[in-house]
Each structure stands twice: as structure tokens, then as C-alpha cells.
């Protein structure tokens, strides 16, 4: 069940249910040839994630939401964006600070992954 009212400083509810489309991972976040996602892919591949193990990457993004509080909430035409920042467990053992953005469409389904990228 989605909670469109999750405030800043709180955790996203039910992170194990967060929706992550396979295509968001394979065609964008882990695709080094993608015009906008290529740099993100280079980063995520450099810390041990791979196209061969997309479920591992998806699990890490859900765990990131479970371990890090919402930094910012922004309403927009497609619902409510929740921005979650910082430590992401990776296959390499590194724990870089990463921003992951989730969108709650207020349709009763869990929020959906929009993007993820490292923070400087």
C-alpha cells in the first residue's frame, strides 16, 4: 500500500514493494550507451553492479530506501516525488552516497523508481 503523504525525514513505507521496471535498469541506469544514463551506468558498473544481475541492483535500491530517510518531497503533475539520499550498499563493498528518486502516482500502488545517481 502506498503512502502518498510520507514526509521528509521519514522512511518510504514498505520499501520491499517499491516498483522498479527492468527496462529502467537495463536500458537506462546500467546502459553505458544511453545519452542521459551513460555516466550513471559507468558509476554503477564501477561499484560492481552488472546487467547479468539486475535483481541484485534492484534489491540494493530497495534496501537504500529502507536504510535512508526521505531528504525531500516534491509534488509534481504525476504525483509526488520522494528523494532519498546517501549510503548505497554495493557488490564492491563501497558505500557511496547516492540519490534515488521515487514517484508515488497516488494510485494505491507503491512508488516507482524514476532515477538514481551518485552525489558528489
Stretch 111-118: mean pLDDT, rounded?
Answer: 97
Q: What is the pLDDT of residues 49-108, one digit of tens each?
A: 999 999 999 999 999 999 999 999 999 888 999 999 999 999 999 999 999 999 999 899
The dihedral of CA 42, 48, 54, 57: what is its sign?
A: negative
pLDDT surpasses 90 at 4: no
Element (H, E) at 112: strand 112-118
pLDDT grade for 113, boundaries at 50, 70 and 90: very high
Amino acid at each position: 500500500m502506498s503512502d502518498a503523504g510520507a514526509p521528509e525525514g521519514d522512511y518510504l513505507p514498505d520499501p520491499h514493494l517499491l516498483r522498479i521496471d527492468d527496462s529502467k535498469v537495463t536500458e537506462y541506469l546500467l546502459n553505458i550507451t544511453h545519452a542521459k544514463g551513460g555516466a550513471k551506468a559507468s558509476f554503477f558498473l564501477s561499484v560492481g553492479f552488472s546487467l547479468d544481475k539486475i535483481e541484485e541492483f534492484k534489491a540494493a535500491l530497495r534496501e537504500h530506501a529502507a536504510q535512508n530517510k526521505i531528504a525531500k518531497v516534491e509534488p509534481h503533475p504525476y504525483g509526488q516525488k520522494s528523494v532519498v539520499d546517501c549510503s548505497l550498499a554495493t557488490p564492491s563493498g563501497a558505500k557511496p552516497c547516492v540519490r534515488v528518486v521515487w514517484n508515488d502516482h497516488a494510485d494505491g500502488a507503491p512508488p516507482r523508481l524514476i532515477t538514481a545517481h551518485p552525489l558528489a
